[in-house]
Amino acid sequence: MTVPFTVRPYPLDEYPFTELVAESLGVDDLSNLSADLPRRTWRTDQQSPWHASFYSGFEAWRGLFAGFVRDEIGPLVNEPFYWQAVPTFRVHLPGNVAVGEFHTDAQYHHPVDERSFWLPLTPAYDTCSVWVEADDGVLHAPDVDPGHLVEFSAATRRHGNKINETGHTRVSFDFRVLPVRLLPPEEGAPTEHTKLRFVPGGYYAADAMEGAGS
């Protein structure tokens, strides 16, 4: 059976993202986040009691994230690439979802050549993981702990969440990279939530990074 994603480890001691995000949210255990929220939709899945704290707190570890992209993602890319300047935060509460619907990122105007990376900050398994559709239409979900990175083609593969029945909250962030040569020649529609264009200095950081073979 071929799963539609790749799981890679990374050194958690060098990149303590779980602790950094917990600190920015002012909590001890991300898996215990709790709130009585209506079922998330694509319009509301970036709205929670914690999203603003994540994005404001990101500034404290922006440099560490850039180093992570350079040292952990760069070797996977064989040419110069743009990278998502600010990762996207997700909270998958029990009895709810983290993203509003099953979708491909291309439906939300993302370039189809993006490579997507999903990084869990708490254990992700069963109904609190992300589900990705394989070529045969079957959905698969990684069973991963912090210290692992999941790559899949979010732009072209349908993916989303099931209702979280684990009793634990899953917290994660995700980000995308795009080879410089594959940047669309014309600006398309912006992102749904931030209204940033998919251009350097917009959705992507202003400066490209060098891939391993570039």
Q: How confident is the model at residue 211 (pLDDT cuts 50, 70, 90)?
A: confident
Res 214 pLDDT > 80: no
Average pLDDT of 32-36?
Answer: 97
In a domain, 200, yes or no: no
Query: What CATH number should be reported for the domain holding residue 76?
Result: 2.60.120.620
Confidence class of residue 1 from pLDDT cuts 50, 70 and 90? low
The whole domain housing 104 covers 10-30+42-182
Q: Is residue 208 part of a domain?
A: no
* pLDDT surpassing 70 at residue 26: yes
Radius of gyration of the CA atoms of the chain, in A = 16
Tens digit of each residue's pLDDT (9 = 90 or more) over 117-147: 999 999 999 999 999 999 999 999 999 999 9
195 or 114: which leads in pLDDT:
114
Q: Give me the count of residues in the chain.
A: 214
pLDDT of residue 213: 58
**Does residue 88 belong to any structural domain of this protein?**
yes
CA distances from 52 to 37, 167, 189, 193 (A): 16, 24, 24, 13
Domain count, the chain: 1
Answer whether residue 15 is part of any domain.
yes
Does 35 reside within a domain?
Answer: no
Sign of the dihedral through C-alpha 155, 199, 211, 58: negative
Q: Is residue 148 part of a domain?
A: yes
In a domain, 189, yes or no: no
- Stretch 55-62: mean pLDDT, rounded? 98
33 Cβ neighbours under 8 A, 6+ residues apart: 25, 27, 50, 91, 93, 169, 171
User: Does 50 map to a domain?
Assistant: yes
Evaluate if residue 186 carries a pLDDT over 90: no
Quick check: 93 pLDDT over 90? yes
